[in-house]
Amino acid sequence: MNRQIIKSLTFGAAGAMTCAGAYAQTAQQKARPNVIVILADDLGYGDLACYGAKNVRTPNVDALASSGVRFTNCHATAATSTPSRYSLLTGQYAWRKPGTGVAAGNAGMIIRPEQFTMADVFKSAGYATAAIGKWHLGLGDKTGQQDWNAPLPAALGDLGFDYSYIMAATADRVPCVFIENGQVANYDPSAPIFVDYQKNFPGEPTGKDNPELLYNQKPSHGHDMAIVNGISRIGYMKGGGKALWKDENIADSIASHAIGFIRRHADEPFFMYFCTNDVHVPRFPHQRFRGATNMGVRGDAIAQFDWTVGALVAELERLGIADNTLIVLTSDNGPVVDDGYDDRAEELLNGHSPTGGLRGGKYSAFEGGTRVPFIVRYPGKTKKGQLDKALFSHIDILASFAELLGVRIPAGAAPDSYPRYKALIGADTQSRPWVLEEAFNTLALRTPDWKYIYPVKGPAIVPWGTEIETGLNETPQLYNVADLKERKNVAAEHPDVVKRMNDIISAIRAENNAELRSLDALP
């Protein structure tokens, strides 16, 4: 069965399908707004003032929300970064592809050059494209085989990005350098770079053996290998010299490279995939944000994120292109408080709930793992200050952009992404019939009324030091969505719903989407 037929069967019944007719217009007739996807890291559903946060001011994000649409029911596809980003950029659920778990900094490039990506959607429509900030999807051909002192043989240029200025993984993983267009930025020939995730390099200090060198931040668990900028990380590293980043300057570096790209392309359509390091660990915001909140570095990193958003929007306005720019702002997964550094985030919460009261958090199959802030602003198209309660998934963003631009997705590409442009801009407020989320080795299925967590064996709490409920359980879990905190498992009382949820998951797994036709018949 071809892709379009599968899609119309799946979504036809629920009336949420934008059918093949959406492609009737040619690319020339379509609007070509600039598009910026702002992806925060580990920013929770309750971490922004416009989502109810009290201890932090986020005026720039709030302004986007009040001039656009704020969604209250959008889900990332996974509760950790690598699979979440993989799905967002490829329109394929990460669990379909082995090797998409949280990636090491020396992972080979996980999205392969032959795959069609979100950047390719825009390239097909003649856009200039860029990826800036956190990447975390591997680089180079093979894991552990990269020569960081030479151009990488596989990098973002092979995935449709004309320009890239990225961190290979996360700030807590080596190599601690920016990579610009597939080569270490500010490369320092006097300090060649070596990376290893198995063993240290002779003579290099580590957080474990040399805690006295940790003048900026100490680990609370893990993160005790290479030391860069007085902070120990995951993985071993040698060299880098002048190319090594300073954590306090990461937000500025990312923002200034994004602004540079915007300026260079102000007079042609551009797409920017812009991923902040905030608010992932190690949280080490610039001095000017220190004390911006009463929550210590985690709160101050949220303030720094907000500043970053403001800096980008101000540049668009200065250039007179803000009205022709569609901005999507969201987060890759739910929040975490202690994620391995002794940064006092826990004790300084001061009553703040990063998940906004949802159960679980980052890593978790519970709602806090994947329900994320989601704001869309496209002046003239999105309604100012709209509150959208519809169920929406990151997985549909790719096909929705293709729909907006009249770009045809190649056969077999982005198999899980549905064109829901009208839903993306809030013009259609129907829920997606279901959204699917990955956490550990389970899947959770959310419909407008129910949340189901597929039974798997596993620890109840994240086993490595972070105090978050995993949501894993050997017995099926079913929660009524009215039970916001997922307190009462009602699986035993609703065997029919459990069966239906299992059937849907099996059908999605088998890509037998025709099975999903009677989705709207859920009791």
DSSP E strand stretches across 347-503: 374-377, 386-388, 392-393, 435-439, 442-446, 450-453, 477-480
Out of 157, 222, 260, 310, the only residue in the binding site for ligand NG6 (CB under 6 A) is 222
The length of the chain, given as a count of residues? 523
By CB under 5 A, tell whether 332 contacts Ca ion.
yes
Q: Please give the backbone phi and psi of residue 260, each rounded to the nearest 5 degrees, phi first.
A: -60, -45
Angle at 367 between CA 366 and CA 370, to 5 degrees: 105
Spatial CA neighbour of 363 closest among 223, 469, 464: 469
By CB under 5 A, tell whether 300 contacts Ca ion.
no
By CB under 6 A, tell whether 339 contacts ligand NG6.
yes
User: What's the min distance (Å) between Cβ of 247 and ligand NG6?
Assistant: 14
CA atoms within 13 A on the CB side of 252: 11
Candidates 59-67, 217-225, 324-332, 504-512 — which segment interacts with Ca ion by CB under 5 A? 324-332
Q: What 3-state DSSP class applies to 39?
A: strand
170 binds, among Ca ion, ligand NG6, none (CB under 5 to 8 A by kind): ligand NG6
Out of 142, 208, 221, 408, the only residue in the binding site for ligand NG6 (CB under 6 A) is 221
- Per CB under 5 A, contacts with Ca ion among 74-133 are 81
User: What's the min distance (Å) between Cβ of 339 and ligand NG6?
Assistant: 4
By CB under 6 A, tell whether 437 contacts ligand NG6.
no
User: What's the min distance (Å) between Cβ of 341 and Ca ion?
Assistant: 15
- Spatial distance between the Cα atoms of 155 and 159, rounded to a whole number of angstroms: 7
Cβ neighbour number for residue 242 with a 10 Å cutoff: 11
Candidates 108-116, 220-228, 241-249, 412-420 — which segment interacts with ligand NG6 by CB under 6 A? 220-228
CA 447 from centre of chain:
21
Pick between residue 235 and residue 426 the one whose CB is nearest to ligand NG6: 235
DSSP E strand stretches across 215-300: 227-228, 231-232, 236-238, 270-275
Q: Is the dihedral of CA 353, 332, 236, 299 positive or negative?
A: negative
User: What's the min distance (Å) between Cβ of 338 and Ca ion?
Assistant: 15
Out of 16, 22, 42, 322, the only residue in the binding site for ligand NG6 (CB under 6 A) is 42
CA 266 from centre of chain:
26
Candidates 1-9, 39-47, 67-75, 392-400 — which segment interacts with Ca ion by CB under 5 A? 39-47
Candidates 216-224, 394-402, 499-507, 510-518 — which segment interacts with ligand NG6 by CB under 6 A? 216-224
Q: Amino acid identity, residue 177? A: V
Binding stretches for ligand NG6 (CB under 6 A):
41-42, 80-81, 102, 136, 170, 172, 221-223, 234, 280-281, 333, 339-340, 464
Residues in contact with Ca ion by the rule CB under 5 A: 41-42, 81, 332-333
